[in-house]
Amino acid sequence: MSDSTAAGKHTLLLTLIMVGMVLGALVGGFSQTEIAIIALLGDLFLNALKMMIVPLIVSSIINGVTSMGDIRKLGKLGAVTAGYYITTTVLAVTIGIVAVNVIQPGAGVDAGAASAPSVGDYSFLDVVRGMIPSNLFSAMANGDILPLIFFALFFGVVMSTLGDRVKVLREAVDGVFLVSMTMVRIIIAAAPVGVFALVATRIGAAGGFDAFGRELSATGWYVVTVLAGLAVHSILILGTLAFFGSGKTPIRVMALLAEPLLLSFSTGSSSATLPVTMKSVQENLGVDQRVSSFVLPLGATVNMDGTALYEAVAAVFVAQCYGIELSFPTQLVIVLTATLAAIGAAGIPQAGLVTMVMVLQTAGLPVEGIGMILAVDWFLDRCRTTVNVWGDAVGTLVIQRILRFG
Ligand code: ASP
């Protein structure tokens, strides 16, 4: 296929995905309820994406590690990746803290009626403990990405020390990777219908435009604060980094990543989007597979700039609603725990709401406060997930540039 035909097909697909999104919003907005057949289409599409996570990340990580050449490169890659994740996450939290202190969305809001919803328990130590799987297959079955990454890295490193004795295995893994990528390409062709169905179902389930409008106006300034923070972080910080990493304008990079960005908004899940992020980063941005196969799966679970920013804004918002003054040290505690909460949140819809409990508890704030942000969370979740995926993809460009891979 010539370059111009490929570009033409890409543009057509993106246009159809956007049309799907708008139509989905309209159908969900006016139907005000979930329509079973449309919900089924959305589930089928989402399942197909999730189905690809295990074969794709395992084969791509093993492949990436074994083609590293010198295994010491992996150490450097790990160090630079960790540096990128931590720096951008802390910057995101800081932007959130500044935004919520300047805009003061909770000033004058009465927290009296809030009651604690049950969102489950969360412990950061459990996340760390789960990093090494006791049973590989149950990690796969549960879609736990971190233990899979650990296993695949370990497997790949050992495999690369065994040379020609495992040649056949290396070729087999390469084959699995190639087939998986091709399957992802086929699944993406269904994205216009999938996105339509997911958006229609979600907005319908939220009660359509009327109910959504009421929820938005009830929490208006809080929503504005989160969105403003996300916009500043995405454009100023990540946009500059995208330019540094690629030499292209941020708008151009965003356009090349439009598929994963639109999908992250439609699915609310970094993990479900991961196969598409991998494909776009490698094929549209030309990122070296050794970098993307390491940075993206890890990023989908631990690097969440949007979630970190949201956690900080939400915690301070809750304090403002309850009229609790936050001292500087307490705000620092929020910065730290929001960072940990984002690292610990899984790349699935509204995982950040669960890890919020830890932020509120550590900062000594009322957990019932979650009740105040619950109604609009599905919408903010979509927005922060898009920023999470944008941060991961930009990371591959920056890290590749720093390490001069490729
Ligand atoms: N839904 C987000 C993600 O998958 C996590 C969250 O903030 O809830 O990236």
C-alpha neighbours within 13 Å on the C-beta side of residue 59:
20
Position 9 confidence tier, pLDDT thresholds 50, 70, 90:
confident
The reported pLDDT for the residue numbered 366 is 87
Q: Which residue intervals of 162-304 are DSSP H helices? A: 167-188, 191-205, 208-218, 220-232, 239-246, 250-256, 258-267, 270-283, 289-302
The reported pLDDT for the residue numbered 357 is 86
Full DSSP string of 152-179: HHHHHHHHHHSGGGGHHHHHHHHHHHHH
Instruction: Give the number of the atom of ligand 1 that is nearest the alpha carbon of residue 310.
Output: 7
Among candidates 371, 323, 349, 357, which has minimal Cα distance to 218? 371
Q: What is the pTM of this model?
A: 0.89
Q: How many domains does the chain have?
A: 1
Position 308 confidence tier, pLDDT thresholds 50, 70, 90:
very high
Position 95 confidence tier, pLDDT thresholds 50, 70, 90:
very high
Cα dist from 101 to 96, 190, 360, whole Å: 9, 43, 17
Position 114 confidence tier, pLDDT thresholds 50, 70, 90:
low
Position 249 confidence tier, pLDDT thresholds 50, 70, 90:
very high
Instruction: Give the number of the atom of ligand 1 that is nearest the alpha carbon of residue 389.
Output: 9
C-alpha neighbours within 13 Å on the C-beta side of residue 388:
42
Domain range enclosing 43: 3-403
The reported pLDDT for the residue numbered 278 is 95
**What is the CATH number for 182?**
1.10.3860
The reported pLDDT for the residue numbered 263 is 94
Q: Beta-carbon neighbour count of residue 47 at 10 Å?
A: 10
| pLDDT of 119 higher than 80 | no
Question: Residue 382 Cα, ligand 1 centroid: separation in angstroms?
Answer: 8
Q: Which residues line ligand 1 (CB under 6 A)?
A: 268-270, 304, 307, 345, 347-352, 381, 384-385, 388
Contact yes or no for 21/199 (Cβ under 8 A) = yes
Contact yes or no for 242/284 (Cβ under 8 A) = no
Name the least confident of 27-31, 107-111, 191-195, 211-215: 107-111
Tokens matching residue 47: 């399942």
Question: Residue 347 Cα, ligand 1 centroid: separation in angstroms?
Answer: 5
| pLDDT of 287 higher than 60 | yes
